């Protein structure tokens, strides 16, 4: 996996989009990809995409679950072992509510507010399944949220593959 140049936010969103394409298209979820980057060393720490791991898993959830396994800690303690300046690139705004009963991705990110400094988002979540308040929630705890424009149409096409199209 080629690492984009530092500050090339669009290239990191494109990388996350390539991951999203690995997710199986279903009518009941969005296909999302994410990339977690140490902004000091410019290393990709982990990636994730929707349904990468068993269960009804979201991209961010998969990324954090894999990191927890890599570091040998519960996901709740990741902030103790991760570098202190991370950027999270996601194709779609992280969810603030899960109909499956799983912890929303925004709660997982907020738990890492001391180390995740910025979340870069390709598109806001469409109001199809739930109303999303993730952007505001992340900003309220000091996480900067930045829209990275230019790929919205492609992201939404990938995200909604498998959904019934309105006639």
DSSP 46-108: EEEETTSSTTT--HHHHHHHHHHHHHTS-GGGGGGTS-S-EEEEEEE---S--TTSSPPHHHH
Q: Known catalytic residue: 60?
A: yes
Using an 8 Å Cβ cutoff, are 123 and 153 in contact? no
Tokens of 9: 């936010």
What is the spatial distance between Cα 149 and Cα 151, in angstroms, rounded to a whole number? 6
Q: What is the largest CA-CA distance in the chain?
A: 49
Determine the distance from the C-alpha atom of residue 68 to the mean position of all C-alpha atoms in its chain, rounded to a whole number. Answer: 16
Catalytic residue among 60, 80, 152, 157: 60
> Any idea what DSSP says for residue 166?
P
Active-site residue list: 60
């Amino acid at each position: 996996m080629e690492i984009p140049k530092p500050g090339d936010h669009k290239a990191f969103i494109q990388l996350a989009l390539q991951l999203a394409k690995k997710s199986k298209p279903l009518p009941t979820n969005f296909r999302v990809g994410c990339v977690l980057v140490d902004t000091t060393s410019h290393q990709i720490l982990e990636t994730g995409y929707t349904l990468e791991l068993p269960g009804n898993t979201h991209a961010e959830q998969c990324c954090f679950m894999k990191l927890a396994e890599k570091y040998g800690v519960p996901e709740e303690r990741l902030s103790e072992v991760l570098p202190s300046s991370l950027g999270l690139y996601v194709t779609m705004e992280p969810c603030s509510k899960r109909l499956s009963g799983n912890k929303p991705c925004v709660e997982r990110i907020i738990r890492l507010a001391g180390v995740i400094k910025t979340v870069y988002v390709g598109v806001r979540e469409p109001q199809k399944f739930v109303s999303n308040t993730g952007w505001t929630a992340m900003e309220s705890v000091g996480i900067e949220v930045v829209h990275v424009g230019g790929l919205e149409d492609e992201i939404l096409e990938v995200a909604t593959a498998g959904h019934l199209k309105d006639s």
